[in-house]
Amino acid sequence: SSLFGHVEPAPKDPILGVTEAFLADPSPDKVNVGVGAYRDDNGQPVVLSCVREAERRILGNLNMEYLPMGGSIKMIEESLKLAYGEDSGFIKDKRIAAVQALSDTGACRLFADFQKRFLPDSQIYISTPTWSNHHNIWRDAQVPQKTFTYYHPESRGLDFSGLMNDIKNAPDGSFFLLHACAHNPTGVDPTEEQWREISHQFKVKKHFPFFDMAYQGFASGDPERDAKAIRIFLEDGHQIGCAQSYAKNMGLYGQRAGCLSILCEDEMQAVAVKSQLQQIARPMYSNPPVHGALVVSIILNDPELKGLWLKEVKGMADRIIGMRKALKENLEKLGSPLSWDHITNQIGMFCYSGMTPEQVDRLTNEYHIYMTRNGRISMAGVTTGNVAYLANAIHEVTK
């Protein structure tokens, strides 16, 4: 018997499995609306012009030295300005412990490990549903998980009263994982007014909000607007945690450029927390990758390039918002008697369509349309060329 004889194949990742099936399908009609990465109107991956320009500036000038354990100081500085506000007093007062992280996933994992190490009896409250990897991350960090109500299937919107009840019923001082904007997979975000109520209730209960901000700028087209939830919590005097990513909003998916920050009580606490985050990173990957961090800091440091980035991120968000409108209009034109308002009410990369797993199976088997069985459509995969075909197929399987 071999040493590894007992190792069974791991279950397929539900999202990555969709892409594999799509690639294996020879049909010329095939459509991939499963993937969580932006595509242009021809279905092609995009590299932003601001990124190309930053790379031109790096070319030939970059040495390949290690970054410090906590990552690029410049990139962290710029990331904090984006999340906490250009003139944030918390930045000036050095109250934020922050390290560069392996994109959003790495930031979440680092935080989960920190939580386990320093608050070993704590749990994490995670929305139902959520990005499936959240469960894996906190599971592997051995932090017990609880769920809280979020989505309202009938309205395909927010179950606000259910959410508020779960916040009230959680033990005081609980950790909550919140999506700062563009909730994945539902595309459903609280309104500003609702965020204020949530923040108020967190204050009453002394809960700790950890924000996963994977889509800043990508949701509305404006990074400031997409940071509104975080800013509300900051105004209300919460300590918060935040995971940031440049995967979606700069298209740096494979560069793994992100940031983890924790707002502390004072500078001394922030220094201690940062040193502990570095201590956790050291035996895992020693220090983070340099290239993406440099691209990010060059862009955000240069007013002209930053202006170009803001234009380009708005361009991506606007294309997606436009495709939402087109998909809804096409379904209505076909005479679908169902309400498709949620397609345009939801925001960000995903539309939680409300289709059943059986309907999704029909889309795949009969129409070569690939997506996760929870009915989540990646709007990034919708184009002027395929929106009518997609709408027709959805209409047929939901009749």
Q: Which residues are catalytic?
A: 131, 212, 248
- Residue number with CB closer to ligand PLP (103 or 398): 103
Of 379, 88, 369, nearest to 215 by C-alpha is: 379
**Of 56-64, 79-87, 100-108, 290-298, which segment contacts ligand PLP by CB under 6 A?**
100-108
Q: Which of 53, 78, 166, 212 forms a contact with ligand PLP (CB under 6 A)?
A: 212
Q: CB of 186: closest distance to ligand PLP in angstroms? A: 11
Contact between 186 and ligand PLP per CB under 6 A:
no
DSSP codes, 133-167: HHHHHHHHTT--EEEEE-EETTTTEE-HHHHHHHH
Contact between 247 and ligand PLP per CB under 6 A:
yes
Q: CB of 103: closest distance to ligand PLP in angstroms? A: 3
Q: Would you tell me how many other CB atoms lie within 10 Å of the CB of residue 28?
A: 6
Residue located via tokens 């502990």: 276
Task: Give the 3-state secondary structure of residue 323.
Answer: helix
Q: Please give the size of the binding site for ligand PLP, defined by CB under 6 A.
A: 12
| CA 335 to mean position of chain CA atoms | 34
Q: Which of 100, 105, 220, 359 forms a contact with ligand PLP (CB under 6 A)?
A: 105
CA distance 130 to 159: 14
Q: CB of 349: closest distance to ligand PLP in angstroms? A: 7
Of 59, 37, 81, 46, nearest to 291 by C-alpha is: 59
Q: Which of 53, 78, 104, 113 forms a contact with ligand PLP (CB under 6 A)?
A: 104
Helix (H) or strand (E) holding 351: strand 350-352
Please give the DSSP secondary-structure letter assigned to residue 304.
H
Q: Which of 72, 103, 220, 261 forms a contact with ligand PLP (CB under 6 A)?
A: 103
Contact between 226 and ligand PLP per CB under 6 A:
no
- Residue number with CB closer to ligand PLP (177 or 198): 177
- Residue number with CB closer to ligand PLP (34 or 36): 36
Q: Which of 109, 116, 179, 231 forms a contact with ligand PLP (CB under 6 A)?
A: 179
CA distance 346 to 66: 42
User: 267-285 vs 103-118: helix axis angle to the nearest 10?
Assistant: 110
Q: CB of 120: closest distance to ligand PLP in angstroms? A: 25
- Residue number with CB closer to ligand PLP (214 or 264): 214
| CA 44 to mean position of chain CA atoms | 21
Binding mask 59-88 for ligand PLP (x = CB under 6 A): ------------------------------
Q: Which of 36, 129, 157, 241 forms a contact with ligand PLP (CB under 6 A)?
A: 36
- Residue number with CB closer to ligand PLP (179 or 395): 179
- Residue number with CB closer to ligand PLP (217 or 258): 258
Residue located via tokens 């994945």: 184
Q: Distances from the Cα of 309 to the Cαs of 91, 296, 314, in angstroms?
A: 23, 10, 8
**Contact, 195 vs 235, CB < 8 A?**
no
Residue located via tokens 């960000």: 348
| CA 72 to mean position of chain CA atoms | 22
- Residue number with CB closer to ligand PLP (104 or 166): 104
For 59-69, give one letter per residue: b (16+ CB within 10 A) or e. Answer: eeeeeeeebeb
Residue located via tokens 């033990």: 171
Q: Distances from the Cα of 60 to the Cαs of 13, 63, 84, in angstroms?
A: 38, 8, 33
- Residue number with CB closer to ligand PLP (147 or 392): 147
Residue type, 43: G
Q: CB of 306: closest distance to ligand PLP in angstroms? A: 20
**Of 102-110, 200-208, 310-318, 358-366, which segment contacts ligand PLP by CB under 6 A?**
102-110
Structure token pair of residue 53: 């320009």
Q: Which of 184, 297, 353, 383 forms a contact with ligand PLP (CB under 6 A)?
A: 184
Q: Which of 137, 143, 214, 371 forms a contact with ligand PLP (CB under 6 A)?
A: 214
Q: Which of residues 128-157 bind ligand PLP (CB under 6 A)?
A: 131
User: Which residue ranges make up the site for ligand PLP (CB under 6 A)?
Assistant: 36, 103-105, 131, 179, 184, 212, 214, 245, 247, 258
